[in-house]
Amino acid sequence: MTTKKTKWGALAAVGVLVIAFGWLIYGGLDSNVVYFLTPKELLAKGAEGYDKPMRLGGQVKPGSVVWDEQKLDLRFAVTDGTGEIKVHSKGAPPQMFKDGQGVVVEGRYGHDGVFKSTSVMVKHSNEYKAPAKGERPSDMYKSLMKSPAT
């Protein structure tokens, strides 16, 4: 009789542990997973989209990049073909950053209509291209150089 009680007690304990573990994983993932929104989706959120940590994904709008190398100040627009969001980032952009490039930026969307980015990630192919002989990393940023916005 005691072995049946012990067996059922052990099964109940394992069941409780499995349920608790599953609840912790589900609850933890739900609050920590950050999906990215497109500009259209972010604009559709309205006031709910302001001042919350998020990721914004889309294409760098051609002609929108303004890079101030001295201040390490980067401004550009992200578009999904329907919506468009202005982005402001401090720090040097990734080397592969350019007009028309797919990007995901992390940060917060402000009430001023500008997404303040803390991180810029570029989407790229997995093909590696070695730098040309004598090419310096600083040469990669020449395509970004425009006069800063005033």
Q: Give the number of other CB atoms < 10 A from CB of residue 73.
A: 15
Report the CATH number at residue 104.
2.40.50.140
**What token pair was written down for 115?**
């997404």
DSSP 13-61: HHHHHHHHHHHHHHHHHHHH---EE-HHHHHHHGGGGBT--EEEEEEEP
* Out of 13-17, 19-23, 44-48, least confident range: 19-23
Q: What is the pLDDT of residue 12?
A: 85
Asked if the structure places residue 149 within a domain, the reply is: no
Domain that holds residue 21: 1-33
**Do 26 and 47 sit in the same domain of this protein?**
no
- Which is it for strands 36-37 and 102-109: parallel, antiparallel or unpaired? unpaired
Q: Is the pTM above the cut of 0.75? A: no
Q: Give the number of other CB atoms < 10 A from CB of residue 92.
A: 15
